[in-house]
Amino acid sequence: AQKVTQAQTEISVVEKEDVTLDCVYETRDTTYYLFWYKQPPSGELVFLIRRNSFDEQNEISGRYSWNFQKSTSSFNFTITASQVVDSAVYFCALSDPTSGTYKYIFGTGTRLKVLA
């Protein structure tokens, strides 16, 4: 069965600190996609990144970076020099496109609080 685990329920950091959000997934499929979403207090889910199972290259986008390691089934998300606007709940999700359903399995989310 597919599963996504975000063990960190809540993290608090002081502005300008770096913070890493962990995501561990389980799947028997060889083809899958991983995603990160941000949910600010307004409630809308904002798409951040997609990574497919064949591409283990790490990615950097401004202050955001993602580390995908198939060997440990992890897809961690790092925010460098955090800002108050980064305060939100972050969700990791797994999708199996070969199933034909394109459904997501969401993790339980990590609430990030960045203090000024």
Minimum distance from CB of 26 to another protein (Å)? 16
Q: Which is nearer to another protein, 13 or 105 (CB)?
A: 105
Coil, strand, or helix at residue 101? coil
Give the Cα separation of 110 and 83 in Å (integer). Answer: 16
State whether residue 8 is helix, strand or coil. Answer: coil
Question: Based on the number of CB atoms within 10 Å of its own CB, is 43 exposed (0-12), middle (13-18) or buried (19 or more)?
Answer: exposed
Interface pattern 22-61 for another protein (x via CB under 8 A): -----------x-x-x----xxxx-x--x-x---------
Work out how close the CB of 108 gets to another protein at its nearest, in angstroms, rounded to a whole number.
Answer: 5
Structure tokens at 29: 């499929």
Mark 77-106 with x for binding to another protein (rule: CB under 8 A) and - for no binding: --------------x---x-x---xxxx-x
CA 8: distance to chain centroid? 12
Q: Which residues bind another protein (CB under 8 A)?
A: 33, 35, 37, 42-45, 47, 50, 52, 91, 95, 97, 101-104, 106-109
